[in-house]
């Protein structure tokens, strides 16, 4: 799992890039004027019924736990080493109850990522390698409400592209899908959630999965300057137009735009619709994307506020920008690692993990 601090703006801009759409080349946006957010409010004042849960970052055996996915406000699946350091474990954690569901020896340099849930099932990717064995991936499945262990789910992971992004594994239409390299083309492989044969759809070009049914240009191709979105079901393709100083990433409903004038220059963070309308300014030089898609639940965008122009400031406030009210809501001060998926947002502060159910913000 990724352990890099998610508070550095440069790293954030790269790790969270999931494609985007912007009409025109002017990074200031179309004719719809940008609207500045009013004064910031504390979470409890804005949403008294917000559900927040806390859990120690260290388990009872003294090992440090890293959540990979929250299934609800108090239940997560994540990773921790064994106390003797000889293996990495995948653990299901609810409150003080911890259950091991998988493990891999440390001599295989294991990495667990792409945790994804669908109802009572959780899926993830185990990546291993040794000095004599090349990198291998296995997809696992766990019926997390049952007293069972994770089991390998599909062996068809040759040339698969698992980058640690939100859409490495995508659940849709009763299927689990992932992307693989096929020369100059990309294979989208899918398997029924109930199990069965893997089917493959091949598309020309280098892509990775985004919010279904969209694909996005792969990271390598984006680095070469080409960037687009492509609907896998209709074949529709949208070229992403942006300035050299702008990074734009999109979901089906909302896009996030970061405009930077270079070292020491002004930075602007804004949200807008894929057609370029309804642009809303979220913040300036001290505000950067934190985690997750541009708009969680099509409403909240998670941001970090550093308070300075440097990536190494020690003060990092976690906030949510509420698109319904055009305001920033303070979630926590001094946040360290921040993650988000679906309607759950979680972050670490010191030796404690905190989780927030965004569905309770009403």
Residues constituting the chain: 362
Let me know if residue 92 belongs to a domain.
Answer: yes
Let me know if residue 20 belongs to a domain.
Answer: yes
Please give the tally of structural domains in the chain.
Answer: 1
Provide the domain limits for residue 35.
9-360
Q: Which of 156-160, 207-211, 219-223, 338-342 has the lowest mean pLDDT?
A: 219-223
Let me know if residue 2 belongs to a domain.
Answer: no
The pTM score is 0.83
The region that residue 309 occupies, defined by phi over 0 for left and psi between -120 and 50 for alpha, beta otherwise, is alpha
Query: What would the pLDDT profile of 281-307 be if each residue is shown by its tens digit?
Result: 999 888 999 988 899 999 999 999 986
At 315, the pLDDT band (50, 70, 90 cuts) reads: low
Query: What would the pLDDT profile of 92-129 be if each residue is shown by its tens digit?
Result: 999 889 999 999 999 999 999 999 998 899 999 999 99
pLDDT higher at 354 or 25 = 354
* 213 preceded by a cis bond (ω within 30 of 0): yes
- Give the mean model confidence (pLDDT) for residues 165-185: 93
Let me know if residue 4 belongs to a domain.
Answer: no
Write the CA distances from 270 to 135, 206, 238, 340, integer angstroms: 39, 28, 20, 19
Q: What's 343's domain CATH number? A: 2.130.10
CB 345 within 8 A of CB 361: no
Per-residue pLDDT at 178:
96
pLDDT greater than 90 at residue 47: yes
């Amino acid at each position: 799992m990724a352990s890099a601090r998610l508070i550095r703006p440069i790293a954030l801009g790269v790790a969270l890039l999931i494609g985007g759409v912007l009409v025109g080349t002017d990074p200031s946006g179309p004719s719809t004027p940008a609207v500045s957010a009013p004064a910031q409010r504390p979470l409890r004042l804005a949403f008294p019924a917000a559900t927040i849960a806390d859990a120690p970052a260290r388990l009872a055996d003294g090992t440090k736990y890293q959540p990979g996915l929250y299934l609800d406000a108090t239940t997560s699946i994540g990773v921790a080493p064994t106390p003797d350091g000889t293996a990495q474990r995948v653990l299901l954690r609810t409150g003080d109850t911890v259950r091991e569901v998988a493990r891999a020896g440390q001599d295989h340099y294991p990495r667990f990522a792409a945790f994804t849930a669908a109802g009572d099932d959780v899926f993830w990717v185990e990546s291993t390698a040794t000095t004599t064995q090349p990198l291998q991936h296995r997809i696992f499945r766990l019926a997390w409400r049952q007293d069972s262990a994770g089991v390998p789910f599909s062996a068809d992971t040759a040339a698969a592209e698992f980058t640690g992004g939100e859409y490495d594994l995508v659940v849709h239409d009763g299927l689990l899908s992932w992307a693989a390299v096929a020369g100059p083309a990309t294979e989208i492989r899918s398997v029924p959630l109930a199990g069965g044969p893997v089917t493959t759809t091949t598309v020309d070009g280098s892509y990775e999965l985004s919010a279904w049914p969209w694909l996005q240009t792969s990271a390598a191709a984006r680095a070469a300057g080409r960037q687009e979105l492509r609907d896998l079901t209709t074949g529709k393709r949208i070229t992403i137009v942006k300035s050299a100083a702008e990074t734009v990433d999109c979901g089906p409903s909302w896009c996030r735009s970061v405009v930077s004038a270079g070292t020491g220059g002004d930075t602007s963070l804004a949200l807008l619709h894929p057609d370029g309308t309804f642009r809303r300014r979220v913040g300036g030089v001290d505000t950067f994307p934190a985690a997750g898609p541009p708009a969680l639940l099509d409403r909240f965008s998670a941001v970090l506020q550093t308070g300075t122009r440097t990536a190494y400031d020690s003060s990092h406030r976690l906030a949510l920008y509420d698109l319904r009210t055009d305001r920033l809501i303070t979630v926590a001060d001094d946040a360290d690692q921040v993650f988000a998926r679906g309607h759950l947002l979680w972050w670490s502060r010191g030796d404690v993990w905190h989780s927030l159910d965004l569905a309770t913000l009403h």
